[in-house]
Chain A
Amino acid sequence: MTDKEQYRIHEEPFYQVQSDEVELYEAAYAARLPVMVKGPTGCGKSRFVEYMAWKLDKPLISVACNEDMTASDLVGRFLLDATGTRWQDGPLTQAARIGAICYLDEIVEARQDTTVVIHPLTDHRRTLLLDKKGELVEAHENFQLVISYNPGYQSLMKDLKQSTKQRFSALEFDYAVADVETGIIAKETGIDTDTATKLVKIGETGRNLKGHGLDEGISTRLLVYAAQLIDQGIAPRAACRMALVRPITDDADIRDTLDHAIDSVFD
C-alpha cells in the first residue's frame, strides 16, 4: 500500500484569502466536484490548492504537465523487472486509490489526447479504466481532481477541449489588489510594508504593460523574489532589476520603462 502520509501537508502554507474562494472550494470538495483554477502565472494558484489540501487535511498529489506527457504517464504502466513485468500506478491512479486531491498543474501543456483520460474520473462515474491491466479503479470517496491553467498565455493551439472544460467548476484568480498583495509580500518575506508597497507599485506598472510588448505582467511570485533579495541585504533597485525586470523581458524599451519605474518608486 502506498504511503498516504507522504502526500499530506503538515504545516499550514501561507495563503492570503482574497474573497470567498475558500468557501467555494470547500463546497465543491464536499460535493466532490472537479475544480479548475484559472489565472495568470505566479498569482497563487498552486499555493491555494496546497492551502486547501492542508485545510481539508487531505493528501495532495501534484503533477506538472508537459507536452511529452502521455496518458500512461498519468495512469500508470507496466515496467520490466527481474521477474518479468510489474504494474506501476501513475499519479492519477494513485490519487484515485488513496483518496488524495490530484492537482494537474498547467494542464494545457499536456497533449489533448492525454487530457481525455481524466474524463471518466470527472463525471458521475468516478472510475478509471486501466485498459492494459484490465482493471477498473473505483475512485476513493475522498478523491478530487483539480487542474490549473493560465488563459493568458495559451496559444491558439493550447486550449482545453470544450468536453474537458465542461467537466469542471472553475475559480478565477488574479493578482491580489494592491493592499492585499502588499500584505502577502510582507508576510511571506518579512520585509517592511513600505518597501512591499513600492514593490507592488512596480508590479502594477508591469501589469499595465501587458499586451504592449509583455506577454505577462510581473507576478506576485517575482515580487516575493525581489523582496527576498532585499531581505538578503541587496539594494532595492538592484534587487528589483534582477527579480522583476531582467527575467521577464528582452525588449530594451520595456526594460527602460520598468527601470525608470523602479527609479521613480525608490526615493
Chain B
Amino acid sequence: MSKVAETPPEIAELRERLGKTFPAVDAVFNEYANEAIRLLSPEGVQDWLDGAKFLGKLGRGAEPMLVFLDKAPQVAAIIGEEAVGKLKDFAWQISRTPNGDAIVPFLQTAAAAARRLEGIGLFGDYLQLADYVMQETTTSVHGIVATHPSPSFVDFLNSVPSLLDRLSIAALKNWAEYGVKAYRNDPEGQSNYFALQSVDAHTMLQRERHGTLLVDHERLFHLYLTGLWETDMICHPYSLLFDEIRKPRPYLDKNGIHLPDVYDDQDGVPGIDRYRALLAHVAAHQRWTTPILGDNLSPFQHVAAEIFEDVRIEWLAIQTWPGLRRLWLSLHPKPAEGACPEGWCGVYHRLSMFSRAILDPEHSYQDTVLNEFIGRFHTMMEEGGSTTQDAADMAVQWYVKSRKDSDMSTDMFLDDVEIEYRDDNRHMWLYQEQGDEDYMPESQSESEPEDQDFERPMRHYDEWDYGTQAYRPDWVSLSEHLHPSGSAALIDQLLAKHMQVVKRLERMLDMLKPQNKVRIRFQEDGTDLDLDIALRSLIDYKAGSQPDPRINMSHRTDGRSIAVSLLLDLSVSLNEKPEGCNQTILELSQEAASLLAWAVDRMDDPFAIGGFHSNSRHEVRYFHLKGYSESWGDEVKARIAAMQGAFSTRMGAALRHAGQGLKQQQADKKLLLILTDGRPHDVDVKDEQYLIADARKAVQELDQDGIYTWCINLDPKADEYVTDIFGPQYTVIDNIERLPERLPELFISLTK
C-alpha cells in the first residue's frame, strides 16, 4: 500500500471513485489523473471517470479504458468537455457492432482528428462520418444483423489524421463515400483504399483536397518563367503525401525543377504565390548561380555557403523585381534573437537570422558578428559582379567568426530555420571526388526507360458511377490499334451492289448546299446590284469617262464546316444474323460504313471511322479504321473489309475516346455517329444500368464540348434504353437490311 500513500489525496479520491478495476490502470492512473485535473473542470473529471468506468465494463480488456483515460482529456482540451461524453458514446456504439477492435484505434486517433477539426460541431460531423463508414462497411451474411467486422474501418481510423491534414471534413466525407460505394463488394480493395494504399485512393484524394494543384497551373508557371525570367524549366511534381517524416524539398537539376504537386495557402499567402516564390528563387539560381567545388567544406560550411548564395541571388532578383521582397518575406520565418538555448547548436538558427536580416531591412538584430556580415554582404553586392564563389568564401569567413563551442553539440536548434520556398541547392555543388556524399542528382533517371516500353499509347478514362454519383477516376484503360487490313476489292463490290442507292445519294448530296454566304463584288452579272460601285460608275459615266461595267455582286457559299466521326460497335453480337436476313449485321455495317464514307468523302467533310470492343474495364480496344485526314482509298477500304466482331460493348469509354479526336478538329459543327446493335454491356459489370448511365454521362460530356451525338441502333428492343443514353438523338433501324442506305441518308439529313 506504500504506493497509495505517495499519491496526493485528490488523486487518491479520484481513484476511489473509479472503483475496482484492472491492475494495469493503477500503474498509470496518477499520471493520467494529473493531466485530467489540469485540463478539465471538476464536472469534466467526473465525466471522464464515468466514461473510463463504462469502457472498463465493455468486456474488451483494459486497453479501451487505458486509452480513454489517456486521450479523452486531450481531446476535451482541444474542442471542449462535451467531447468526453461523445467519445464514450461512440466507443459504446462501436462495441455494439462486430468492430470491437476499432475502439482503441478510434480513441487513439481522436485527439489528432480533434486537433485538425477545432470545434465540437465539426468533431460531431466526424463521428457521424465514422459511424457511416462503420455501418456501411460492416457486412452481414444473412441479411439483417451485421455479422462480420468491417475490413476497412480500422484502416480508415488510422488514416484520418493524415487525411484531415489535406481535406476538409466535407471533402473527407466525399472521399470516404466514394470508397464505401466503389468497394462495397471488394473487402480487399476497400481495405487498400482506406489505408491509402490504392491508386484510386490517391486520385480521389487529389480530387477532393484543398490547395493549389500544380497541374491546374502549369501553363501559368510556364508563362511566369518565360515572361519574368526569360527561361523555361520543366516542372516535375512530387507528392508530399507519403513522406511525412523526411519532407522532400524542391530541387533543380538538369531535368528541370522538381516541386510539390500541391501547395496549401500558408499564413495568408495563397498557394499560387508560394509556387511563384519558389519559381522565382529557382529561376534566380538558374540565372546567377555557377556551381562551385564543395570538397573542402565542412558540413556546416556547406550549409552556410548555401544560405549565403540563396541570399545573394535573392538580393540580385530583388534589384529587378522589388516586389519579390514582400513575397519572400511573407514566407520567411522570423527567428528571434537569443531563442537558441545555451548549449545547443545554433548554426542553422544564426544562418536563418542572417537570411532574414538581408531580406528584411527592418530587422532588429543586435548581434555584432551578424551585423558585421550584413554590412560586408551589402558592400559586396553594391560593388556588383559577385559570384557564387564570393558568397561561399564569405560564408566560410562567417562560420569561422561566429562559431561557438556549443555548435558541436548534438542538440540542434531547429526552430524557425526551415525556409520552405527555397530549393535544396544541389545544383550549386561540384565534387572532384564523387564519393558517398549527398550527391544524388540523377537518382530518378533510372526508372524512366520503363515508360518507353509502352509501344501502344494507353489511355485512361474516368467512368461515371451512377450509384455514387461520382466519377471513378481513370477507371477504364483504352488502347488504340490500327485495324488489320483485308481486301479493298470487297468494299468496291459492296458499293457496286448498292449502285441504285449510290445514285440516289448523289442527287441528295448535290442538293445539300451549305450556307455561309460570302459576297463577291465586281461582277458583270450577278444576283444583286452593288450600289457603291453602281454610283461610282454613274459618276464616271456622267463625267464622260469609261464607266466600270462590273456593278453587280453575287454570293457564293463558303464551305461546310462539319467534322464527322463514325463509331462502330464491333462486339461479338455483330456476327449474328437477324431473323429474316441473309446477311450478318457485320456485313450490313460494313456496307453502311462504306456508303457513308463514300458520301462524306464526296462532301469533303473531315471524317473518321473507329471501331471498339471491350473485355472488362482493363481492356477496351479502339480500332482506327479511317483518320480525319486520310482519304477514302484502298487502305481504308481494306481495313473496313477486315472488320470482325468480338467481346463486349463498353460504350462510354469509346465515346469519350472518339470525342477526344473529334474535339481536336477545327470545324463549326461536330457530329459523332455511333452504330450499335445492343445495349452497353461488359463482362465485369453486373448492373446493366451502370454502363447505360455511364454512356449517358459520356454523351453529356460530348455535348458540353459541342459535339452532337447521334445513335443508330439496330436492336429492335432498343427503345427500352436508347432514350436513356441519347435522349431524342437516335434512330432505331428495324429493317436492318435497309441499313446501308439509311445511314448515309441519315447523315445527309442531319447535316442539312
Question: Could you tell me if B542 and A84 are in contact, using CB atoms closer than 8 angstroms?
Answer: yes
Partner pick for A209 among B227, B540, B546, CB 8 A cutoff: B227
For the complex, give the distance between the alpha carbons of A78 and B323 in Å. 62
Q: Contacts A263-B323, A267-B326 known; A205 to B543 CB distance under 8 Å?
A: no
Interface code A69-103, partner B: CB below 8 Å = 1, 0 otherwise? 00010000111100011010000000000000000
B542/A254 in contact, CB under 8 A: no
Are the C-beta atoms of B276 and A212 separated by less than 8 Å? no
Contact A213 B223, CB 8 Å, known A78-B540, A78-B543, A208-B230 = yes
CB distance A265 to B322 under 8 Å?
A: yes
A225–B433 CA distance with the chains assembled, in angstroms = 58
Q: Does B536 contact A (CB under 8 A)?
A: yes
Q: Is B228 an interface residue (CB 8 A)?
A: yes
Q: Which residues from chain B contact A208 at a C-beta distance below 8 Å?
A: 226-228, 230
Give the docked Cα–Cα distance between A45 and B44 (Å): 82
Nearest CB in chain A to that of B273: its residue: A260
B272 partner residues in chain A, CB cutoff 8 A: 256
Q: Contacts A261-B227, A261-B228, A264-B228; is A132 near B540 (CB within 8 Å)?
A: yes
| Chain B residue contacts of A265, Cβ below 8 A | 321-323
Choose among B222, B321, B542, B546 the residue that contacts A212 (Cβ–Cβ < 8 A).
B222
A164 close to chain B: CB less than 8 A: no
Docked-complex contact A132 and B220, CB < 8 angstroms: no
Interface presence of A201 (CB below 8 A): yes
A258 CB-CB contact with B under 8 Å = yes
Chain A residues near B288: list those with CB within 8 A: none
B536/A257 in contact, CB under 8 A: no
Kindly identify, within residues 261 to 284 of chain B, every residue whose CB is under 8 Å from any CB belonging to chain A: 272, 276, 280
Chain A 125-159 interface 0/1 with B at a Cβ cutoff of 8 Å (1 = within): 00000011110000000000000000000000000
B224 adjacent to A257 (CB under 8 Å): yes
Whose C-beta in chain B lies nearest to the C-beta of A254?
B223
Q: Give A153 to B149 CA distance when docked, in angstroms.
A: 70
0/1 per residue, B595-622, Cβ < 8 Å to A?
Answer: 0000000000000000000000000000
Q: Tell which of A72, A85, A253, A267 touches B219, judged by Cβ atoms closer than 8 Å.
A: A253
Question: Which chain B positions have C-beta within 8 A of A44?
Answer: none
The minimal Cβ–Cβ distance linking B570 to chain A, given in whole angstroms, is 41
Contact A206 B539 (CB under 8 A): no
Q: B219, B222, B223, B276: which has the most chain A beta carbons within 10 Å? A: B223
Using a Cβ–Cβ cut-off of 8 Å, how many residues does chain A contribute to the interface with B?
31
- The verdict on A212 contacting B539 (CB below 8 Å), with A266-B322, A267-B325 known, is no
Kindly state whether residue B749 has any CB partner on chain A within 8 Å. no
Complex: A78 Cα to B546 Cα, angstroms: 12
Known pairs A84-B542, A85-B542; A266 contacts B323 (CB<8 A) = yes
Pair A264/B220 contact, Cβ less than 8 Å: no
Cβ A205 vs Cβ B227 within 8 A: yes
Query: Which residues of chain B have C-beta atoms less than 8 A from A213's C-beta?
Result: 223
Residues 570-609 of B, flagged 1 when their CB comes within 8 A of A and 0 if not, give 0000000000000000000000000000000000000000
- Bound CA–CA A134/B280 (angstroms): 69
Q: Mark A153-193, 1 if CB is under 8 A from B, else 0.
A: 00000000000000000000000000000000000000000
The chain A residue with its CB closest to the CB of B276 is A260
Q: Kindly state whether residue B235 has any CB partner on chain A within 8 Å.
A: no
* CB-defined contacts of A77 to chain B, threshold 8 Å: 536, 539
Q: Tell me the smallest distance from the CB of B233 to a CB of chain A, in Å.
A: 15
Count: A-B pairs, CB below 8 Å: 76
Tell me which residues across on chain A come within 8 A of B219, comparing CB atoms. 253
CB pair A80–B542 under 8 Å, yes or no, is yes
Q: How far is the CB of B362 from chain A (nearest CB, A)?
A: 13
Most buried by B among A79, A85, A134: A85
Q: Mark B610-636, 1 if CB is under 8 A from A, else 0.
A: 000000000000000000000000000
Given contacts A85-B542, A253-B219, whether A258 and B227 have CB atoms under 8 Å apart is yes
Closest CB in chain B relative to A29 CB, distance in Å: 35
In the complex, whether B324 has a CB less than 8 A from a CB of chain A is yes
A79 nearest CB neighbor, chain B only: B539
B residues near A201, Cβ cutoff 8 Å = 320-321
- The answer, yes or no, to whether B327 is at the interface (CB within 8 Å) is yes
Using Cβ atoms and an 8 Å threshold, which residues of chain B touch A254? 223
Q: Are A257 and B543 in contact (CB under 8 A)?
A: no
Q: In the complex, what's the smallest C-beta–C-beta distance from B674 to chain A, in angstroms? A: 35
Closest to A206 in B: B227
Chain A residue with minimal CB distance to B217?
A253
Q: How far is the CB of B462 from chain A (nearest CB, A)?
A: 25
Chain B residue numbers with a CB within 8 Å of A80 are 539, 542
Assembled-state Cα–Cα distance A212/B49 (Å):
68
Contact B220–A257 (Cβ < 8 Å): yes
| A79 contacts across to B, CB distance below 8 A | 539
Bound Cα distance from A80 to B219, whole angstroms: 60
Contact assessment for A253 and B223 in the assembled complex, using a CB-CB cutoff below 8 Å: yes
8 Å CB contacts to B: which residues of A224-267? 253-254, 256-258, 260-261, 263-267
Q: Which residue of B lies closest to A84 (CB)?
A: B542
Interface readout for B709-735 with A: 1 if CB under 8 Å, 0 if not?
000000000000000000000000000
Within 522-549 of B, Cβ neighbours of A (below 8 Å) are at 536, 539-540, 542-543, 545-546
The answer on a CB contact under 8 Å between A209 and B539 is no
CA distance A229 to B421 in the complex (A): 35
CB pair B220–A253 under 8 Å, yes or no, is yes
CA distance A72 to B536 in the complex (A): 10
Contact A209 to B223, CB < 8 A, known contacts A77-B539, A80-B539, A257-B228: yes
Cβ of B226 and Cβ of A212 under 8 Å apart? yes
Q: Which of A78, A132, A134, A257 contacts B227 (CB 8 A)?
A: A257
Q: How far is the CA of A253 from the CA of B316 in the complex (A)?
A: 26
The listed residue (A85, A133, A260) touching B224 by CB distance below 8 A is: A260
Chain A nearest CB: distance from B226 CB in Å? 6
A87 to B542, CA, bound (A): 12
Chain B residues numbered 678-726 whose CB sits less than 8 Å from any CB in chain A? none
Residues of A within 8 A of B542 (CB): 78, 80, 84-85
Q: How far is the CB of B225 from chain A (nearest CB, A)?
A: 9
B229 nearest CB neighbor, chain A only: A208
Give the A-binding residues of B (Cβ under 8 A). Answer: 219-220, 222-224, 226-228, 230, 272, 276, 280, 320-327, 536, 539-540, 542-543, 545-546
Q: List 7 A-B contacts (CB under 8 A).
A: A78-B539, A84-B543, A209-B226, A253-B220, A254-B223, A264-B322, A264-B323
Further pairs besides A201-B321, A208-B226, A256-B272: 7, Cβ < 8 Å:
A78-B539, A85-B542, A206-B227, A209-B223, A257-B223, A257-B227, A258-B227
| List of 4 A-B pairs having minimum Cβ-Cβ separation, nearest first | A264-B323, A267-B322, A264-B321, A85-B543
